[in-house]
Amino acid sequence: MFLNLSPWIDYQRRLRMMSIHTRLNYAGWGFLALIFCGFLMSVNFSNNLIFAMTFMLCGIALLGWWQTRINLQGLNPGNWRHQPAFAGQPVVYNMRLSNTDHRPKLALTVVADGKPQEGLIALGPASEAGLCIHRQSTKRGELEKAKAYLKGTFPLGIICARSPLPDLPASLVYPKPVGSRPLPETTNDAQAHQRNEAGSFTDMRRYSAGDPVSRIAWRVLARSDEVYVKEFDGAEGQPALWLSWDAVAGLGTEERLSQLCRWVLDAERQGREYGLDIPGVRIPPASGADHEKDCLSALALFGVQR
């Protein structure tokens, strides 16, 4: 390529992110009708006062349009953060929205996935606010990504300006954890070695991402400014469980997934090692937050085309 288009594409993307679209809302059409009424009246009666009023309303509408745009300018959205949810629960998205402008931004609404969120956001000059969006999940699987934008009609309420926010990312929706069956005691012979269980102290090593916070050697940190984690030899726990598709025989697919989800949560809470064996996915026994997440994801995505 002779031409490096990437800065241009980048610029276009930035423009699109910053672009503010305005249109008339219902009140705006009403206002327009008012202007039209005034115009007809003034022409019909050749009344200069009504002419003046009509033109004043025109001027106010024009400036209102501009002010409405300004009210959305200088907003700097961060990135969405979210946690997967269980089916039936809302997926919560969070974002920091900062106002880089010296004017306050008033009466903004977040519209996510076409639905305006409750409550109006007001941002002082050069300040930040947290946006929080609840998206209701209905069934397990993947909650698709969705468009989100900020909407504001301040000050006159006759013009609706919208400025795009980053898309709401897709989120996993785990099956609803229901089911009354007890944990199946089918083990794969091996005793679980619960590495994270505290036993006798063996070693100290540098912290790396993913280490449990509870293992951080706080004293060392206080002394040396370096983050170390303590390692233990673990403990001999209960035998590892196999949560398998066959163990939930006799139920429908979704019910099976729900029961397995319940078991995963129970097993994790009991601190046991467990493996998941469902058609197409086999996760060897382990425990911990990551493992739990892997299992739940596998359940969520069972049979789902990605």
CA 188 vs CA 84, 241, 248, 274, 296: distances in Å: 30, 7, 17, 10, 21
63 near other proteins, judged by CB under 8 A: yes
Q: How many residues bind other proteins (CB under 8 A)?
A: 43
Place of tokens 């606010």: 129
**Closest CB 180 distance from other proteins, rounded Å:** 46
57 near other proteins, judged by CB under 8 A: yes
The answer to whether residue 153 forms part of the interface with other proteins (CB under 8 A) is yes
Check if the beta carbon of residue 131 is closer than 8 Å to that of residue 110: yes
Q: In 3-state terms, the chain is what percent helix, strand and coil (to 5)? A: 30, 35, 30
d(CA 92, CA 90): 6
Do 265 and 84 touch, CB atoms closer than 8 A? no
- 91: its two tokens: 């997926």
Cβ proximity to other proteins, 108 vs 286, nearer residue: 108
Using the contact rule CB under 8 A, the part of the chain among 15-23, 52-60, 82-90, 202-210 near other proteins is: 52-60
Taking CB under 8 A as the criterion, the residue among 9, 17, 43, 221 binding other proteins is 43
Binding of other proteins by 154 (CB under 8 A): yes
Alpha-helical segments (H) within the chain: 6-18, 26-45, 48-70, 218-224, 253-269, 289-300
For residue 277, the cross-strand partners are 244, 282
Least CB distance from residue 255 to other proteins, whole Å? Answer: 45
Choose one: 46-54, 195-203, 234-242, 283-291; the region binding other proteins (CB under 8 A). 46-54
Minimum CB separation of residue 19 from other proteins in Å reads 17
C-alpha to C-alpha distance for 127 and 61, rounded to whole angstroms: 29
- Binding of residue 161 to other proteins (CB under 8 A): no
Stretch that binds other proteins, among 66-74, 223-231, 235-243, 273-281 (CB under 8 A): 66-74
Return the DSSP state at 216: B
Applying CB under 8 A, the residues found at the interface with other proteins are 27, 30-31, 34, 37-38, 40-53, 55-60, 62-64, 66-67, 70, 102, 106-107, 120, 122, 153-158
